[in-house]
């Protein structure tokens, strides 16, 4: 009779330990799933930003042979066309107020 109750006790302990191991594994999987969802959302956001940049680069590349694009880039570098006169607004250079009041 004692051996029978000892086997029941061992069996109960095995069941309890198995259940605890299952619960811990399940909890860890839930945490991992939550972390992966957050990482996926972050990566999707990064992908969206990169796709926008790629779209802009492709647009620039497609239009890089046009005169408008070349002029825009040249002006960004501070270049001017031959015969153009540069006018510098000294008020804006000094941070002064604009006196144009219409």
Query: Which among 38, 61, 37, 57 has a CA at the least distance from the CA of 49?
Result: 57
Helix intervals (H) in the chain:
2-62, 67-76, 90-94
Model confidence pLDDT, tens digit, residues 2-53 = 788 889 999 999 999 999 999 999 999 999 999 999 999 999 999 999 999 9
Model confidence pLDDT, tens digit, residues 58-71 = 988 888 888 888 88
Tell me which residue has tokens 């302990």. 13
Side-chain half-sphere exposure of 55, counting CA atoms within 13 A: 6
Torsion of CA 16, 17, 22, 23, to 10 degrees: 70
Tell me which residue has tokens 């002029």. 71
């Amino acid at each position: 009779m004692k051996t029978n109750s000892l086997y029941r006790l061992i069996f109960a302990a095995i069941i309890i330990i198995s259940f605890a191991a299952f619960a811990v594994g399940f909890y860890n999987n839930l945490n991992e799933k939550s972390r992966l969802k957050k990482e996926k959302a972050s990566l999707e956001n990064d992908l969206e930003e990169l796709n926008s940049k790629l779209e802009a680069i492709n647009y620039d590349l497609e239009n890089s042979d046009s005169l408008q694009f070349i002029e825009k880039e040249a002006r960004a570098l501070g270049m001017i066309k031959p015969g153009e006169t540069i006018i510098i607004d000294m008020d804006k250079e000094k941070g002064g107020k604009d006196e144009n009041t219409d």
